[in-house]
Amino acid sequence: MVLTMVGCDQRAAAPVQGVASSSAVLPVPIDGERAFRVDTVARGLEVPWGMASLPDGRLLVTERTGRIRVIRDGVLDPTPWATVSVYANEPGIGPETGLLGLALAPDFATSGHVYAVATVWRSEGDRTRSVPTRLWRRALGLVDETATLRFANQVLRFTERDGRGVEPTIIVPELPAAYYHAGGAIGFGPDGMLYVSMGDAMLPERASRETGWLGRIHRFTPDGNVPADNPAPNSSTWAYGLRNVQGMDWTDGGSMLAIEHGPTGMAQEGARAGHDELNHIVPGGNYGWPTALGGETVGDSRPALWTWRAAIAPAGLAVYRGPISAWRGSVLVAGLRGGLERVVLEERGDSIRVVAAESLLPSSHGRLRTVHIDSSGEVYITTSNRDARGAARPDDDLILRLVPASDSTPP
């Protein structure tokens, strides 16, 4: 198979030879012979955000409003696997917070542990917006502006017993958050450590600091402690200078990848827009936000692997590990504005480069949030049409599955 070489900073690159171009409509040809269809697995969810596959084939799915749901044999269980009280709705705001990312513990078979990111009020006074709490936060904000934030992301650990998630335990108690740019991705790396993303909480300058809470990816032990081999002593920061990471994964070679939302024209961001990114995350890496965008660098910042100049709002990322040979070495990216993208990577040791990219799905399903690949290589995608920015249809939100037209693996 010949790959068409492309440069970065292009909205739609020339396609891999034999694979449909970005203008194709479903079904999309694969290797010029095969196609896939899109099946609807479940309907009627409320902003499904994160997914995880259990060893017995069940799928767990978070709903941003505070439920973890179960799909068994293609059927959505009406009873939640677990329920959490979260901050997910507020009239006139349309928060990006709630019950977000989901991750299975590497030792799930023996521990039954499942981890999730949940946004909560930092105190009862923050929930009720009491005058004493508001004045207290305003005073603390003169010293540390993160003290003005009313919310926090917590990392919760559940234990599965009798098919339900019980014993919710707070592993990471407080990562200060705002109702926008709250991050929320979570995953276990090949090293067995727990990685959690935090957005800049609309305080962009905070992302540029080497240590802190905002605009970065954190690294913890499974118990929520700071590993001794993190880049900075006594700091959970793994990488910084990131605006709002909502998806991350690792390649077969062990390299960490993360997608990042670019700016959307806000005044505090210099009225810039676009430049969503795919980044190769390295320990202690600075990714330039809020100064550098895309392929730019400032000081020691690292350029993006790939930039979408016209925003696709990347919200889900998965390294492809499935039966379609032409897709191996690719990452799939779900966009809230741009359908499903495939980015082809070439990895040699510690070096990664993008060699091609294409658009696989149009945005006819609306906002696509999560892309997840289960242990058998099935590709699942969730929609996010019932959030504040979506146009929900009667059966939204959906969980979709890409199904190859043939069971045989192409040559």
Beta strands per DSSP E along 16-72: 29-30, 34-42, 48-53, 59-63, 67-72
Q: What is the pLDDT of residue 405?
A: 66
- For residue 3, name the pLDDT band (cuts at 50, 70, 90): very low
d(CA 130, CA 146): 18
pLDDT of 384 strictly over 90? yes
Question: Please, are residues 45 and 66 in contact by the beta-carbon 8 Å criterion?
Answer: no
CB-count burial class (<10 Å; 0-12, 13-18, 19+) for 79 = exposed
The percentage of residues in the chain with a pLDDT greater than 90, rounded to a whole number, is: 70
Mean pLDDT of the chain: 88
Question: Shortest CA distance to 360 belongs to which of 312, 311, 291, 309?
Answer: 312
Question: Please, are residues 228 and 215 in contact by the beta-carbon 8 Å criterion?
Answer: no
Q: Where are the domains of the chain?
A: 29-404
Question: Please, are residues 186 and 116 in contact by the beta-carbon 8 Å criterion?
Answer: yes
CB contact set of 53 (below 8 Å; sequence gap of 6+): 59, 60, 104, 372, 374, 375
Question: Please, are residues 325 and 334 in contact by the beta-carbon 8 Å criterion?
Answer: no
For the ranges 217-231, 292-306, 348-362, which has the lowest average pLDDT? 348-362
Model pLDDT for residues 147-191, shown as the tens digit of each residue = 999 999 999 999 999 999 999 999 999 999 999 999 999 999 999
d(CA 185, CA 34): 33
- Residue whose entry in the numeric block shows the structure tokens 């409509």: 25
Element (H, E) at 111: helix 108-111
Strand order in the sheet with 245-250: 245-250, 256-260, 276-281, 306-308
Question: Please, are residues 324 and 16 in contact by the beta-carbon 8 Å criterion?
Answer: no
**Would you identify the CATH topology of the domain 29-404?**
Neuraminidase (2.120.10)
pLDDT of 19 strictly over 50? no
CA–CA–CA angle 244, 247, 249 (5° rounding):
135
How would DSSP label each residue in 243-312?
S-EEEEEE-TTS-EEEEE---BS-GGGTT-B--EEEEEE-TTEE--TTT--TT---TTPPPPSEEESS--
Q: What is the pLDDT of residue 24?
A: 28
Q: What is the pLDDT of residue 57?
A: 93
Q: Give the number of other CB atoms < 10 A from CB of residue 288.
A: 26
- For residue 411, name the pLDDT band (cuts at 50, 70, 90): very low
Q: Which residue has the higher pLDDT, 149 or 309?
A: 149
Torsion angles phi and psi, residue 80, rounded to 5:
-60, 145
CB-count burial class (<10 Å; 0-12, 13-18, 19+) for 55 = exposed
Buried b or exposed e, range 100-124, using 16+ CB within 10 angstroms: bbbbbbbebeeebbbbbbbbbbbee
Counts for the chain of helices (H) and strands (E), in that order = 3, 27
Whether residue 78 is preceded by a cis peptide bond, meaning omega within 30 degrees of 0, is: no
CB contact set of 127 (below 8 Å; sequence gap of 6+): 121
- Taken as a whole, the chain contains a residue count of 411
Model pLDDT for residues 237-270, shown as the tens digit of each residue = 999 999 999 999 999 999 999 999 999 888 888 8
Strand order in the sheet with 399-404: 29-30, 34-42, 399-404, 379-383, 368-373
User: Across residues 106-132, what is the average pLDDT?
Assistant: 96
pTM of the model: 0.90
d(CA 141, CA 397): 38
Q: Is 352 helix (H, G, I), strand (E, B) or coil?
A: strand
User: Across residues 116-143, what is the average pLDDT?
Assistant: 93
Model pLDDT for residues 76-109, shown as the tens digit of each residue = 999 999 999 999 999 889 999 999 999 999 999 9
